[in-house]
Amino acid sequence: MKSIEVISAGMHTSFQDLGRFNFAHWGCPVSGVMDEYHAKLANTLVQNSLDEGVLEISLLGPTLKFMHDALICVSGLEAKIQLNDQLKKINHAFVVQSGDVLKIPQITRGNRVYLAVHGGFNRKKILGSVAQFQSITKNFSLQKGEYLQLNKIDLEFAKLNLNAHVSVENEHYKQHEIIVQKGPEFKAYQVELTKALQSSLFQIGKNSNRMGVELLPELQLNSTPILTNIIQPGCVQLTPSGKLIVLMKDAQVSGGYPRVLVLPQRSTDVLSQKRTGEEVRLVLG
Amino acid sequence: MLIQLENEINPINLQHILQIKTIVKRLFPSSYTYNTYAEVGIRFPYFEDLTEKIKLLKAEFNAEKNEERTLQLTSKTIEVPVCYAEELAPDLNAFLQQKNMTLEKFIELHTQPKYLVYFIGFLPGFLYLGGLDKQLYHPRKANPDPKIEAGSVGIGHHQTGIYPQDSPGGWHIVGKTPIDLFDVNQAEASPFQSGDQIQFKPISLEEYKFQIQQMK
């Protein structure tokens, strides 16, 4: 059942869900959505379960042609969402009809938005997840010309009440403060690190992606590599030259830089939406 | 949950790790465990209070402490064919020159040991192996190659290993294996697990090409 044609794929659009959990013993990263709050919100608004696969769309989004009716939602901070020539609201479910073209030309606040479709995409899970990742799935991003299938659903679109009130609580995404906790190697760098966190604002570096977010400038602090140990999304590594790197969803499963801090999920959600050049302050909580 | 052991690379550490994993599996069947050289990571399916679990684990581990730790590191040795032909091993000649070593001597030293699989990490299917002969220790390249082909066998510092997919890398490429180290289409995407041993078996270029053909 061909349901959606990918007219253009956008800058980087990929299938994601809550991740590929139990395959670290084969070296597979967790993967999954960078901003869990908004991905879950998108699924919630179209009445899906929270771990249903969604499209994660970065900065310049795709153009998708629907080949039959569907109930969909785009969630995130701010984006231009066009259905044919009509503008649609973010974080609101709406119905698309067969033949409609959905365009997300630009994300205007944050880095990523999530597209969920009621009933979910009909997508094969590989190692327990639909998340796209090199060497695990055939492609690591959506491809132009691809057809996406939807699961069969029974929905009377005419009878839907789409005006139900949903409170979107994403004000905290506007704050500069990001709560961090102590990591396994915090102690060895405690004095310098605590001082640095109190006095510095960090900028999101341009080498930030789904694997990690770099925080600049580098600290006046040198670290010593550790034995290759376990790392996972949320860990903050301190490189030998003093750079802090927050590991994100596609991070490797093992690494040899000290893990000085750890971000809780709510903090990585917020960080994933901070753009290159934006400033943050890390607050030990 | 993260359990840390002595920060070192040795078979005894790995033995303890495998033992801890066995205990954790027995106590908490729904948990998921994995490891590196000196750490065990444990994931539980739901958020739970870990205090009780840690107590239980400690008691169990201490109870076994005085017993003979007879857990075998592995019952499994897997043979991995490697072709050391020049056209598949771009860095081999330079390596031999710097070491002042013959190709025969090199192959002997590289294929003799049984390498211990400590864990899989870095990339899907990448094996962290222990047991490289000291005579083959060689510093990593100053400038990593932008693309090393999947299957390439390399030496870097005190380690030898196989690149499971095309990727950048800083090791000296001294051979190539025709086998797939990671293939999600197989029942087991990686044929290896922590605690296994592998042994390289030298094959000719013809044999390499034949095996590649067979896999297609």
Distance from CA of B63 to the nearest CA of A (A): 27
User: Which chain B residue has its CA at the smallest distance from A185's CA?
Assistant: B4
User: Which chain A residue has its CA at the smallest distance from B150's CA?
Assistant: A135
- pLDDT at residue B70, rounded to an integer: 53
CB–CB contact A184 B32 (8 Å): no
Distance CA B87, CA A151 (A): 49
A143 and A213 part of one domain: no
A200 and A257 part of one domain: yes
Distance CA A187, CA B63 (A): 31
In this structure, are residues A236 and A274 in contact, taking their beta carbons and an 8 Å threshold? no
Nearest CB neighbour to B7, from listed A227, A230, A252: A227
A145 and A9 part of one domain: yes
Given a cut of 60, is residue B74 above it in pLDDT? no
Distances B44 to A21, A134, B24, B32 between C-alpha atoms, Å: 10, 26, 11, 6
- pLDDT at residue A152, rounded to an integer: 86
A10 and A71 part of one domain: yes
A201: domain CATH number? 2.40.100.10
Strands A101-109 and A235-238: unpaired
Average of pLDDT values for A229-238? 96
Is the model more confident about B51 or about B200?
Answer: B200
A182 and A137 part of one domain: no
Average of pLDDT values for A109-130? 97
Domain boundary among A171, A200, A235: A171
A124 and A203 part of one domain: no
Q: At what angle do helices A36-45 and A265-272 cross, to 10 degrees?
A: 90
- pLDDT at residue B150, rounded to an integer: 95
- The residue ranges of DSSP E strands in A138-278, in sequence order, are 147-148, 177-182, 202-204, 212-216, 229-230, 235-238, 244-247, 254-255, 259-262
Residue A159: inside a domain, yes or no? no
Q: Which two tokens stand for residue A214?
A: 């770099």
Nearest CB neighbour to A22, from listed B8, B9, B32: B32
Taking the C-alpha atoms of B133, B134, B135 and B138 in order, what is their torsion angle to the nearest 10 degrees? Answer: 110
Is the model more confident about A277 or about B146?
Answer: A277
Task: Report the percentage of chain B scoring pLDDT > 70.
Answer: 95
Domain boundary among A171, A201, A226: A171
Assign B69 a pLDDT band (cuts: 50, 70, 90): low
Given a cut of 80, is residue A147 above it in pLDDT? yes
Average of pLDDT values for A117-139? 95
- pLDDT at residue B46, rounded to an integer: 80
Give the Cβ contact number of residue B176 at 10 Å.
26
Residue A211: inside a domain, yes or no? yes
Question: Which value does ipTM take for this structure?
Answer: 0.89
Residue A158: inside a domain, yes or no? no
Give the ranges where A4-150 is alpha helix by DSSP (H): 36-45
Task: Report the percentage of chain A scoring pLDDT > 70.
Answer: 98
Assign B54 a pLDDT band (cuts: 50, 70, 90): confident
CB–CB contact A232 B41 (8 Å): yes
CB–CB contact A21 B190 (8 Å): no
A85 and A204 part of one domain: no
Domain boundary among A171, A205, A232: A171
Given a cut of 90, is residue A10 above it in pLDDT? yes
Nearest CB neighbour to A230, from listed B41, B120, B123: B41
Assign B67 a pLDDT band (cuts: 50, 70, 90): low
Least confident of A176-185, B53-62, B171-180: B53-62
Compute the mean pLDDT over every residue in chain B, rounded to the nearest whole number. Answer: 90
Give the Cβ contact number of residue B198 at 10 Å.
22
Residue A160: inside a domain, yes or no? no
A chain contacts of residue B128, beta-carbon cutoff 8 Å? 228, 254
Which contacts qualify for B137-144: CB closer than 8 Å, 24 or more apart? B138/B95, B138/B98, B138/B99, B138/B172, B140/B170, B140/B171, B140/B172, B141/B170, B141/B171, B141/B172, B143/B170, B144/B168, B144/B169, B144/B170
Compute the mean pLDDT over every residue in chain A, rounded to the nearest whole number. Answer: 94
Helix (H) or strand (E) holding B4: strand B2-4
Distance from CA of B26 to the nearest CA of A (A): 17
Given a cut of 80, is residue A118 above it in pLDDT? yes
CB–CB contact A253 B37 (8 Å): no
The correct CATH number of B77-215 out of 2.40.30.10, 1.10.3260.10, 2.40.100.10, 3.40.50.300 is 2.40.100.10
Assign B104 a pLDDT band (cuts: 50, 70, 90): very high
Distance CA B155, CA B22 (A): 32
Distance CA B97, CA A8 (A): 52
Least confident of A102-116, A204-218, B57-71, B190-204: B57-71
Given a cut of 80, is residue A116 above it in pLDDT? yes
Distance from CA of A13 to the nearest CA of B (A): 22
A chain contacts of residue B194, beta-carbon cutoff 8 Å? 25
CB–CB contact A184 B126 (8 Å): no
Establish how many alpha carbons lie within 13 A of residue B12's alpha carbon, considering only the half-sphere containing its beta carbon.
5
Distance from CA of B208 to the nearest CA of A (A): 22
Residues of A with CB under 8 A from a CB of B: 21-28, 126-127, 133-137, 184, 226-230, 232, 252-254
User: Which chain B residue has its CA at the smallest distance from A138's CA?
Assistant: B184
- pLDDT at residue A115, rounded to an integer: 98
Helix (H) or strand (E) holding B17: helix B11-27
A15 and A142 part of one domain: yes
pLDDT tens by residue, B12-25 = 899 889 989 988 99
Domain ranges, residue A41: 4-153+165-171
Domain segments of chain B as ranges: 2-65, 77-215
Task: Give A74's contacts (C-beta < 8 A, 6+ positions apart).
Answer: A42, A57, A81, A88, A90, A91, A104, A113, A114, A115
Average of pLDDT values for A159-169? 75
Distance CA B162, CA B186 (A): 19
A92 and A198 part of one domain: no
What's the DSSP call for residue A219?
A: P
Residue A271: inside a domain, yes or no? yes
Number of domains in chain A: 2
A259 and A179 part of one domain: yes
Q: Which two tokens stand for residue A69?
A: 């009716």
- pLDDT at residue A177, rounded to an integer: 96
B chain contacts of residue A21, beta-carbon cutoff 8 Å? 32, 43
A198 and A91 part of one domain: no
A40 and A133 part of one domain: yes
Q: Which of A22, A26, A31, A250 to probe the B interface (max B CBs under 10 A)? A: A26
**Cross-strand partners of A78:** A109
CB–CB contact A127 B189 (8 Å): yes
pLDDT tens by residue, A55-66 = 999 999 999 999
Average of pLDDT values for A162-182? 88
